[in-house]
Structure 1
Amino acid sequence: QPFRELLRTHAVQVVVGCALLAATACFTGLFFSHLPAYLTTVLRYDPRDAIQAQTIGVMAHATGILVVGWIGDRVAPRYLLRAGALLLLAFSYSFYRGLETRAISPTLILVLAGACGGLTNGSFAVLLTDLFPTRIRFSGVALVFNVSFTIFSGMSPLLATTLIRQTGAPSAPAILIAGGALLALAGSLAAPRYGGNVLGRA
């Protein structure tokens, strides 16, 4: 009964894992699912311009993941995730505000946002697997991944729309990105204490 053992012996690791994934899941929900409608409906961008900007942003995000994966062989992944979380925390409002005011090219904004998201998306996996011993690793990773993405990714478009409606501020979804980044930062700080199954205790 790996699942029962997981909940009995590694409940804290499950919570830490969910925190580690918060920034990635929230970013994914907003960047991939919410952004197209947000740009065209809320901010009234031309659909072709919106699609072009998002497509280039997605390409930057994918490239960032590959680069971070390569760097992760040389730099501890927890530092890369922390860097991404701090960047998202610091600049999430600026990204949304820039899109709202059109003071900066939307393509440039989404490239920068995609690169920041790539730092968390390219580094969380090894930190997550490090939390669980081999015998329950599959169950641990599966539970954390599904819970995190259901909550943080699945709910973020709805929450973003609600925040915009309630506050009247088109940049309000930045609160969700910042919140996810804070959780990921906390998770990265806790991970070394509760991990060590793959990366060791260093």
Structure 2
Amino acid sequence: MVHYSLSFFTYMQVVGHASRTTALLASLGALIFAAALCPFVGRYADRVGRRKTILTAGTCLIVAVFPAYTLAGSGEWWASLIGAMLMAVGAVICGVVTAVLLSEQFPTRVRYTASALCYNVSYTIFGGTAPLVATWLIERTGNNLSPAIYLIAITLLAMWGGLRLPESSHRALDADESEWRHAPEPFMRPTT
């Protein structure tokens, strides 16, 4: 959610020529809205499963991206707020399901390390560079909506990867421990 918020914040200022205060207030409003959505999204993800939630997140982002960027590019507070809230829906769904999904993909003994590594490497590559890439795309193409196209491409890539994962919502976290127990230790220390 924070990486989306940063790139959207940058977009409001660069394209919409919104003041820093306007962009910050719109971002703050969207973050409050996003926080209120989290429990509902969590219930949804538990009810329909992780894969359908990933599909929902991607669909919401793809559908909302052009209207959201158009509103954010207006430079007006209310329009920027609505645009940020539109983007927040998909971002929240994505964020809520990612935390649980990553935990469910790894055995207990490596769960924290493996999920933290996957999340943080992806976050650094895609989220950390988003404001820079958005600004670069606008300068390079002259199209103020080029960051929206970039976001759609990243969303399609995430959906492709997420839908390839096994459904994990209705199994116990330690259900597959016996299978994992016999696998070689991924980070074995040499014995002395």
Question: Structure 2: which amino acid aligns with 1:181?
Answer: T
SS state of the match for residue 169, structure 1? coil
Normalising by the residue count of structure 2, what TM-score does the alignment of the two structures yield?
0.78
> What's the % identity of the aligned pairs?
28
Counterpart pick for 1:161 among 135, 141, 148: 135
- The residue number in structure 1 matching 2:125 is 151
Equivalent residue, structure 2, for 1:64: 37
- State which structure, 1 or 2, has the greater radius of gyration over its C-alpha atoms: 2
Alpha-carbon RMSD across the aligned residues, in angstroms, is 2.7
Whether contact under 8 Å (2:42, 2:96) holds in the other structure is yes
When residues 109 and 128 of structure 1 are mapped into structure 2, their CA distance, relative to the original with a 3 A threshold, is same
TM-score (norm 1): 0.74
Q: Which runs of 5+ in 2 are unaligned?
A: 177-192
- Cα distance in 1 between the residues matched to 2:167 and 2:87: 30
The alpha-carbon deviation at position 136 of structure 1 amounts to 2.0
Q: Which runs of 5+ in 1 are unaligned?
A: 1-26
1:94 to 52, 64, 67: 67
Q: Partners of 1:96 and 1:45 in 2: how far apart?
A: 13
- 1:102-146 Cα offsets, whole Å, 9 max, x none, are 698221221121122111111112211222112222221121012
2:103 to 90, 108, 129: 129
Structure 2 CA distance for partners of 1:166 and 1:199, relative to 1, 3 Å: farther
Residues 149-184 of structure 1: CA distance to partner in whole angstroms, max 9, x if unpaired?
110111111111110110112221112321221122
1:177 equivalent in alignment to 2:166: no
CA drift of 1:93 comes to: 2.1
SS at match of 1:198: coil
Q: Distance in 1 between matches of 2:174 and 2:74?
A: 44
Higher relative contact order (CA 8 A, sep 6+): 1
Match of 1:120 in 2: 94
